[in-house]
Chains A and B, each alone.
Chain A
Amino acid sequence: MRWRRIQAIVVKESLQIVRDSRSLMIVLLIPLFQMFMLGYGVSLDVQHIPLCAYDREGSQESQALLHRFSASPYFALQGLMGSYGEVEHNLDAGQCRLAIVIPSGFSKGLADAGKGTVQALLDATDSNTANLAANYARAVVTNYSADVQMEFVQKRGGTVQTLTPVEVQARVWFNEDLVSRNFIVPGIVALVMAIVGAQLTSLTIAREWERGTMELLISTPVEPTELMIGKLFPYFLVGMVDACICLGLAVFWFNVPFRGTLPALFFTTGLFLTVVLCIGYYVSVAIRSQVGASQVALLLTMLPTTLLSGFTFPIDQMPMAVQAVTYVVSARYYVTIIKALFLKGAPWGELVLPILCLTLYALIMVFFASRAFRKTLD
């Protein structure tokens, strides 16, 4: 392996990238466009969940609780039901996704033990929304009962008034604002990077075949490994710029709080980018036409990242066989890491396993990509 030949290919490839200003613009605009489209378009952002209520008690307390629900931005109260049958019918018909049933002993339980119980019925066809709805509902109820307890304590005697009121607040861990967008945007970053990264390199070898420059290139002493490194390096830089665009939008436009460290973020992003660049390169070597290579690369990155990375569908809710498959989806590790970095601010220690897996994945991909190219017209 000769440094000078790698350098020659890096220079040549970079010149070609810079000269093709139209493609360069597209490559930089696509992540912007996709981030907006997916960031706003994915209906996972749960607000105004249609809600039905069946108030079996009809007390002041139950009314107050229902009022909390209708005041919450996450729920839209569709109407009050008169029977379980009606509740069921509404859920089945899709009129509401969540039904709250307040039992007749609600206010009594609240007064006696400080524990009011309500029943929540969920339409769980979309498990993601269902999960979030259940969490929101729990939060609303918990907040309410906390307020009631507070009042209760204050009413009892003046002696406790000097105490700082105990604040009971439901926390949905790692996403305490219950903003599902926070949850989804890091995953979108991974998706966009997977798509764009593989697209970048999917054209690079196929283009040489189509333009007729490959025959001369393979008649030189250049080695396949040199060709791979030289070709991937400039695209790695472009990909990192794309990554910065995506991550920047996530933090500054979508206001997703970032709690991790930048070195961890860039290191793991670089690893993931390496993987997807290698996938694109591999496809480009295998398919000698630009259109074909770009489509195959799109399929190979978009589908697994969307379906099997845990970005839209939680992995632990998948059938066992499918769960097993997710281990070979590189995005699985990156989505885990990036979500943790954004939402938990996970320290290095907690991320060791997924980072090791991703590193191993990247090394294997680089190894195969470096040997993929055959210097022959046959």
Chain B
Amino acid sequence: MEAPVAAAIQVSGLEKRFGAVVAVAGLSFAVAPGEIFGLVGPDGAGKTTTMRMLASVMRPDVGSIVIDGIDVLASPEQAKQHISYMPQRFGLYDDLTVEENIRFYADLFEVPRTVWQSRAAAMLDAADMTPFRKRLAGQLSGGMKQKLGLTCSLVHTPRVLLLDEPTTGVDPLSRREFWQILYSLRSEGVAMLISTAYLDEAERCDRVAMLHDGAMMYCDTPAKLKEQMPGVMLEVVTDDPRRAHDVVLGLSGVRGALLVGNGIHVHVDRRDCCAQIAVALQAEGIAATDIDAVEPTIEDLFVALLEQKKTGASK
């Protein structure tokens, strides 16, 4: 489906240890120009460490990274000209205004004044931030901070964009605007690597890599990955998700269960497990207002795949 002619990002055999901890264990993948590549995984999976090595702010122990034809390990400073990195922690200056921050990064990348000014104006406009040009970055909301971060990252028209959990703690509206910008970059041919804690967001990516303990579990399109999940996902809406979770896990035909916002997601073999679950919950005196099949999210998928791997390994 992808088969890139020349990959914008080419990573192979990447490894990084911190003492005894293996943060990244032999990671290989490629991202094509104009592709949004998602990195998904629980905390500590090695997403940030991977991003850092790609941004050459950290050196890998083993492996190679080629970005836009440049060997990153051999000439990191040259590669940095083409890369933009948005760290997980907000990295701009709280005591500078929106405009001053943008100007600072434009100057560091030596973007001609007229170019960055019109570019920044357009981006601020698209992000609904034009009225806040003179506001100190520290006084912006979380969503606006991230949009400012993205604007700063984009003033020098990078070929590769590395975004480490850019939408964590961001309101839904800003998230939507944020993604709008990413989609427009896709059409400009920018390769994007994005890690996310919102797993529904991973579904917006062209391809997703699932990291677990620094290694890649799966790497495919969100749709393909979903196909790999056998069985059905049921959503049980209840006031007492914790107890419900424990109850359903003991039933036959249940592969796994996951706490979600308004109840639990139960991964079952067949659709008709519905009745069985309803009965079991009633017997325990747990009120379930609704039980129905739902589209599994990437998060469900992740848990299911992990479960599958574990049982596969123990057999």
* Chain A residues in the interface with B (C-beta under 8 A): 2, 4-5, 7-8, 11-12, 15-16, 19-20, 211-223, 375-378
| Contact call A220/B80, Cβ cutoff below 8 A | yes
Q: Render B105-119 as a binary contact track against A, CB cut-off 8 A, 1 for contact.
A: 101111000000000
**Residues of the B chain whose Cβ atoms lie less than 8 Å from the Cβ of A5:** 107-108, 110
Contact (Cβ within 8 A) A16 B93: yes
Contact A217 B110 (CB under 8 A): no
The CA of A377 and the CA of B91, in the complex, are separated in Å by 14
Q: Which residues of A contact B86 (CB under 8 A)?
A: 216
User: If A8-B108, A215-B57 touch, does A221 touch B96 (CB 8 Å cutoff)?
Assistant: no
Residues of A within 8 Å of B91, CB to CB, are: 212-217
Contact (Cβ within 8 A) A16 B95: yes
Pair B110/A377 contact, Cβ less than 8 Å: no
A–B complex contacts, Cβ < 8 Å, 16 sampled:
A12-B93, A12-B96, A12-B100, A12-B104, A15-B100, A20-B95, A212-B91, A216-B85, A216-B87, A218-B57, A219-B55, A219-B80, A219-B83, A220-B105, A220-B109, A378-B58
Q: How far is the CA of A15 from the CA of B103 in the complex (A)?
A: 13
Q: Are A213 and B93 in contact (CB under 8 A)?
A: yes
Residues from chain A with a CB closer than 8 A to the CB of B87 are: 212, 215-216, 219
Beta-carbon nearest neighbor of A220 in chain B: B108
Given contacts A221-B108, A375-B57, A377-B58, contact A215 B96 (CB under 8 A): no
Residues of B within 8 A of A7 (CB): 107
> Which residue of chain B has the shortest Cβ distance to A213 in the bound complex?
B91
Interface centre among A7, A213, A219, by most B CB within 10 Å?
A219
Instruction: Name the residue on A nearest B52 (C-beta).
Output: A377
Quick check: A221 and B81 within 8 Å, CB to CB? Answer: yes
Task: Please measure, in the bound complex, the distance between the C-alpha atom of A66 and the C-alpha atom of B90, giving whole angstroms.
Answer: 77
Cβ B104 vs Cβ A376 within 8 A: no
Chain B residues within 8 Å of A12, by CB: 93, 96, 100, 104
Report Cα–Cα, A4/B90, bound state, in Å: 25
Interface residues of B in 59-73 (CB under 8 A from A): 59
| Chain A nearest CB, measured from B276 CB (Å) | 50
Give Cα A219 to B67, complex, Å: 14
The answer for the CA separation of A219 and B76 in the assembled complex, in Å, is 9
Rounded to whole Å, the gap between the CB of B49 and the closest CB of chain A is 10
Those of B36-79 within 8 Å (CB) of chain A: 52, 55-59, 76-77
B96 & A378 in contact (Cβ 8 Å cutoff)? no
Question: What is the CB-to-nearest-CB distance from A23 to chain B, in angstroms, rounded to a whole number?
Answer: 11
Minimum Cβ distance to chain A for residue B165 (Å): 13
Give the chain A neighbours of B92 by CB distance below 8 A: 213, 216
Query: Which residue on chain A has the smallest CB distance to residue B106?
Result: A8
Does B94 have its Cβ within 8 Å of any Cβ on chain A?
Answer: yes
Tell whether, in the assembled complex, residue B56 and residue A219 are in contact, meaning their CB atoms are under 8 Å apart: yes
What's the Cα separation between A5 and B76 when bound, in Å?
18
Complex CA–CA separation, A212 to B59 (angstroms): 19
- Report how far A11 CA is from B101 CA in the complex, Å: 11
Q: Which one of A11, A16, A220, A378 has the highest number of Cβ atoms from chain B below 10 Å of its Cβ?
A: A220
Extra pairs beyond A214-B91, A219-B56, A219-B87 (15, CB < 8 Å): A2-B110, A7-B107, A8-B104, A11-B103, A11-B104, A12-B93, A12-B100, A12-B104, A15-B100, A19-B95, A215-B52, A215-B57, A219-B57, A221-B108, A377-B52
- Tell me if B315 counts as interface (CB < 8 A to partner A): no
Question: Is B89 touching A15 in the complex (CB atoms < 8 A)?
Answer: no
Distance between A219 CB and nearest chain B CB, rounded to angstroms: 4
Complexed CA–CA distance, A20 and B136 (Å): 13
Contact of A16 among B52, B85, B96 (CB under 8 A): B96
Q: B194 → chain A, closest Cβ, in Å?
A: 16
Contact A376 B57 (CB under 8 A): yes
Chain B residues with CB below 8 A from A2, complex form = 110
| Chain A positions within 8 Å of B96 at CB level | 12, 15-16
Chain B residues near A214: list those with CB within 8 A.
91
A212 to B90, Cβ gap below 8 A?
yes
- From B52, B86, B91, B100, name the one whose CB has the most chain A CB atoms within 10 angstroms: B91
Q: Is the CB of A4 within 8 A of B81?
A: no
B84 closest partner in A (C-beta)? A219
Bound CA span A376–B109, Å: 18
* 7 cross-chain pairs, A with B, having the tightest CB-CB distances, nearest first: A216-B91, A8-B107, A219-B85, A212-B89, A215-B87, A220-B108, A219-B55
- In the complex, A2→B108 CA distance in Å? 9
* Option from B77, B94, B100 in Cβ contact (under 8 Å) with A221: B77
A42 CA / B49 CA spacing, docked (Å): 54
Task: Kindly provide the distance from the CB of B193 to the nearest chain A CB, expressed in whole angstroms.
Answer: 13
